Structure 1
Amino acid sequence: MKTRKLLMSSAALLPVISIAQSDRPNIIILNIDDMGYSDPSCFGGDYVKTTNIDQLANEGLSLTQFYTSCPISSPSRVGLTTGMYPTRWGINTFLQERVNNAKNEQNDFLSDKAPSMARALKASGYATGHFGKWHMGGGRDVKNAPSITNYGFDEYASTWESPDPDPKLTSTNWIWAATDEIKRWNRTAYFVDKTLDFLSRHKDQPCFISLWPDDVHTPWVYEGDDASQRQSSHSLSIVLAELDRQIGRFMQGLKDLGIDQNTIVIFTGDNGPAPDFDGHRTNDFRGQKGTLYEGGIRMPFIIRWPNHIPVGVKNDKSVVCMVDLFPSLCKIAGAEVPTNYPLDGVDMSDVITGQSERERTTPLFWEFGKTKADRVSPHIAVRDGEWKLLVNADGSMTELYNMTTDFNEKNNVATANPAITQRLKKAAIDWFNEAYREYADNVIYVTPEGDDTADGTSWTEATTLSHAVKLAKTESGAQVWMKQGTYNVSSSVISDNVAFYGGFNSTEKKLTERNWKTNPTIIDGGGTVSPFRNSLNTSTSTVLDGLIIQNGINQAGANGNGNGGGAILNDGAVVRNCIFRNNRTQTSKNGAAIHCHTGQIRIENSLFYGNTSSGNGGAVQIGGGVTTTIVNCTFCDNQAAGPGGAFGLGNDGSNLNIYNSIAWHNTGAGSYSSLGQNTNVNGGGTVISQYSAIESQSTKLTDGDDNNHMALSESVTPMFEEGGYRLQESSPCIDAGNVNLASNINYDLNMQRRFSGAQIDMGAYEFDNGEPVVGNSVIHVAPDGDEAQDGTTWDKATSLQHALTLADTYTDKAMLWLKEGTYIVTTPIHPDKMEIYGGFSGNEQTLEERNFAEHLTIIDGDGKISPIRNSNLDANVVTLLDGLIIQNGINQAGANGNGNGGGAILTKGATIRNCIFRNNRTQNGKNGAAIHCHLGQISIENSLFVNNISSGNGGAIQIGGGVTATVINCTLCDNVASGPGGAFGLGTAASNLNVYNTIAWHNTGAGNYNSFGQNTDVNGGGTVISLSSAIESQSTKFTDGNDENHIFLSQENTPMFTEDGYQLQKGSPCIDTGDDNYAAISVCDLAGKSRLAGTHIDRGAYEFVEGTTAINSHTPALSKSEGAIYDLSGRRIKGHGARSKGQEDNQMINDQCSMFNGLKKGIYIVNRKKVIE
């Protein structure tokens, strides 16, 4: 598709506006849902002629550099409403069910304490109305969101995602239904009618109205629609045309009311489109909704105000953001801007009214996707002048673009502009650290002697615990800070969606200033009630932290069938830094301290002792369908009538993960037994113990799924101190945990540093072994390494398997240095927190001394397994593979990532550098013979991919949905796929590929020489950008205008590889034609030669050097025709024969590179034409 040009400036400017108080204009903001930048035809769209939107532009002013405040609905609307970056108020993504809001570290609704444009305008005399989508709180299972009127609106009518949806629009608890009185396709008309009615009733005063339609958000439903086409461009065109018609009807309504001449109408959108139809809806900007690239955040903007704003002006110079509208419109309306919170927006009234085309003087910031597993872009962005930088908070994945010359964000020039990059990177990360959830936590202060009538807004206005719980019901992100002392509760505290923190002395201003050891905070049930209980059958974000919960007892008739002595908790609850003691159950009920009732519950850094259950679960009972995770806890001296003296399991759906914990001297069914299902010590669901010490006879702890489990008994004890539960100096639990399994907690239960000595301890208390021991992060590995050695030096080189076990316990990433040779692996390597380097001879002291071209380091799957697999595919990893040959891998059914990936499966943050992937394959129709890229951003640099075979798509590399893979200076040749992507396969429209300085040729996809294709469509997939690359492909992805200096290869127009491999011959079009911006990625090419040998960098993995290039055994030379391998004397190497014609015809074979197996290091000659016996 040809790139549509940005609109250019025209028309003269009008005089500076000055409005009398009596002539203040009406202000209408039309905020369209999921509007693509080029959906309107006046911004380059061609789906339908948007006549009425175009008329708005003709009668007003358009901005071509207008930005939303976030690339997704809820936070974008928060930015518009408050004039502040939404992350400050804890709204980071679209608002969902409570449990998912908690997982995304966001509140359930926008606090009504936040600034509101409507409130400010109402205070100055405006009548205010909101008609349309809200999505800033309410809906799903959030029932306590404030009314829309709390934000300054006099009237409203809204949809399902609001605190009080219009019943005509919401017959069900979902976005739309066929049973709605007002059908989906009539909603915009309904909101237009509501707006015009409001205006007709308030003609005697200025009005401010938020008119926020559901259109053009999917599903695109129209009268008589075809459900199968609800995300097609055909359906979009129908819905877009109806939206345009209703805007025309609205504008005519203003004229009919006689108010159109003094009404400001603003037309924009909340965020970019989804789907974007291959950039067609985003003006070919990169990205879409849910990304911080331009396609997700740059929006169309039109403002019309007759006789005040110049007609037909298109300003492509000024940068304006949605947060600027609050102060700008207040300036125009003569309203005061609130000062209780500093706005991020700045007054741009002169720009939006056409009085100026000045450049912005303050930077803009965005945050989106910190907790999003499949984020496509980095989660922080800054725009300052002509520069835009994207980066993650940990400093990774830095991208820099020049918005003047590269507004499509094709060319990452961060490496070429180090000073600018460093400045903006620091600014972006500093802003994020300052802004993230700055005003999100609503603290209610409580003391034992608190005033029941106080509002709890400070320690001096501290209230009671019971009153605080009532106040918390009206807050999002409520935190109850409790002063030390004893709180005797006479009725259960219903703790849904509230975080309770103890350990304060009533002077603290920060959560980090408290001390739960010196300021004990006790919640006492008095032997009459269960102190904490969640309402059931709902998800909750309950947090209990720094409390002592004691003397609780279950009550007949209480929820959860009366279980739970100290507490009953639901899905999403977290217990941290707590002590549960002397709680009990009666009448055979379960869970003396805690009954875990539904979903997933986490208990960390806590102590349970002296609790007694008349049923099962002397401390904790895990109900059916529950997964409870217990980390660094201690359980001792608890007892149960059932077999679970510490942990009770309800049924086969009760699951328990125990990490770094101790359970000892707990009595179940009359014997020392810490674990058991209600009627069977060996029953229940999945139980996993890792780095834990447990006294139990249950076979659940000996069934093979436990790791570093210590079996305790009355003779093998944890060695507690006399009269307590801290560890003695000789305890086997000291330095016996795994910090990688621990929670992000700085202190143990005694307020000592949580990590002391060489490793974290088991249990709730850390033995003070002094400062953490920072060990050597390098583990030396050799093919003949000693399993008993620790790998600290080459003389103490260990085996690869033992090195992986050691690396798993490292507090930071581990670096594995692999000596040359072949490592045949029988189980996949999980390098989530590892950097693995090959190319060592076995005496190097620095990375710079190695030579990966000379000292070949081979990871061999032996045709049985996939050698490299990230374990947690949803988490960020630090994986780096550098200087390795990955070969003979094959995917396995049932493996993570849906079984994709023959050589490797990688996830966000992984990097491949200086590697060769050869002879890997997939079976059973799976994708990515060499690598399957699962999530996030993955980089592949200076590497070679040959002779890999996929039974699905992606003969070499498959890019999954939500992935952006960046491939730099790589060569991909002689790979095969059943799908259309012989080298690169794309999974979905959210699969994105950047190919820089790379060669892909002679790869076969779906029987043709084709290096690229989406699973079922050679032209499908997400954004594909080729810069200075040479690719053989028929895909239109390389002719859509997104590519620069691209060479179209074919069987006639070749990269001119040498006869002996994949290096370039003199005269190759790939020599000196790469982009030098990527020259710093690798100092050397894959053969160890200087990366810049000529005037410019070459394309591909090998840099051309004048003269004859010999082949050594690490270069898979057989590439294009039959051949055999000979040594330099001309003798044929036994067992290494010619390649058959069937192989050349791309038949699916198991070992297309088998002729290279077993070759010793040396120089060989390849004869491709004829086999000489």
Structure 2
Amino acid sequence: MKKHLLASLMIAMAFTNQLDAKNVYVKLSSDTEAWSHITQDENNVVVEITDGKFNGILSNIAAKDRVWVAKGIYQVTGSINLNEDRAGVQIYGGFKGNETALEQRILKDQDENGIVEPWEFEYETQFQGNTDTDPSYRIFTMNAEGDVVDGITICDNTNVNDHGAGAYLKNNAVLSNCIVRNIKAEASKNSAVNGAGVFVDGAGLVKSCLIENCTNQNDDSDGSSYGGGINIQGNKSVISNSVIRNNQVVSGKNAFGGGIFLNNSAVAENCVIYNNSSVFRGGGVYIHNNGGKLINTTVVKNMGAKAGGGVFSNGNSTIYNSVFWGNVNEQGNANNLNLNQAGYVETFAYCGIQGAGIWMENKNLNTNPTSYQLIESNDFTEEVTEGLAPRFICPTVEAGIGYEFLEGTLEAIAKANWGLLNASDLVDKGVNTIPDYTIATTDICGNARPMGQKYDLGAYELGSGATGITTNQKEQSRFTLVANSNGVTVYGIEGLAKVNVYNTSGALVKSVQLGNGETISLIERGVYFLSVSEGETSQSGKILF
């Protein structure tokens, strides 16, 4: 009994005290262990779902409640509306069911791209919709201040003639640490859809999310589709630290923004936008009439059939510290950035662009940008004899979306790693400050910027693509690797351990025997792979020195 009371007290302390709010712990009835440590009272309620349908327990959730949903697949049978009676509700997933704090949720490199990303929970909580069109609905409607959805995989849903089939955000709602996957929006002639996966309408934050395999489709000859992965609008709307891949817009007339559609000064920062497609304009990004900002974005291997394989800017745009590479049109020609007659790039500073990829339909590039850097090369990984190269860790080969019937394409997209190798010419090529904008001091993985004198171009600071998030969360990790000014210190050794150090090319740099808390010295700065072995226990890790 004392154990149960102590656990309940710890969990209650983990929540922000809110008047009349309670903690709701949700699990499937087949999960006999989840939330067994909770002592129920008026402030802590455990809810079991016997039929797998999440909507059936919504009556248990009131305004400002915090909801922890244990691992499993939950069926969504109608839109989950976080407004009015449920305004300010916070829904969290990714739990095994024995946690007492959000930070205890375990992360794992699920897509095997070498990065442990903040949406990759070992114990996945899936909210599945309906892939049929009757009935059709979006999964989450988040209309109220304080609404939060975090750690949920929002997937497998089709919605007709409505925006954001995965999630709709307004009034400063927050979507974080989530996966939005396999979402489809269908529209008729007079019902253009804004954002298949996510629609941010005026004010909202999407942070540390993966948006993939979403389709915005209108088959009418005069139809329009705006944003395959996400449509984000408003000067208080931001998407940051996120990956947008393998999404598409399809329509008979206006198909804009396969990955992202930006409008009304919305911001995309520290994002990787790759292998998206549009049958018309803006394979990766479409910036509409009222403009938008791209800050430290990596826009690569997208396909815009008619124009703007990487970015099509139709409005006043601010672009800093970004890289545009390998984006093409339907003929396979380089088409990284297209500036339309209706708009211009207000500030285009310190960006790396693959050569022969800039198109200005009416020469409307502002003649007074601060500065910009043109990097010319088609090479992704190998040494080149002239020009410069980005040298990404593991880029994709083909541009545009992948297909199930093309063996290996979807796997290659999932395993791509757009972090930078040591020799990348994108390192230290950016700026550390931006006029009238507070630039993030961390990269997509949460690691500090700048590592050198200046920001690196794109979403990853050097080393992040190998290191992943700052803390590699593993249930059974024994050894801890800590970089310092002299090298790497290893903790968790019981006697003596053998430590091998490799560079990014796989060559052995050093091999030593270490005791607990001892440091293996390094001289050259860079990314290293370490293997620590003691007895039958072995562990490897990547670290930036």
Q: What is the TM-score normalised by the length of structure 1?
A: 0.25
Higher helix share: 1
Q: TM-score, normalised by structure 2?
A: 0.49
Structure number with greater CO (CA < 8 Å, separation at least 6) is 2
State the structure with more CA Rg. 1
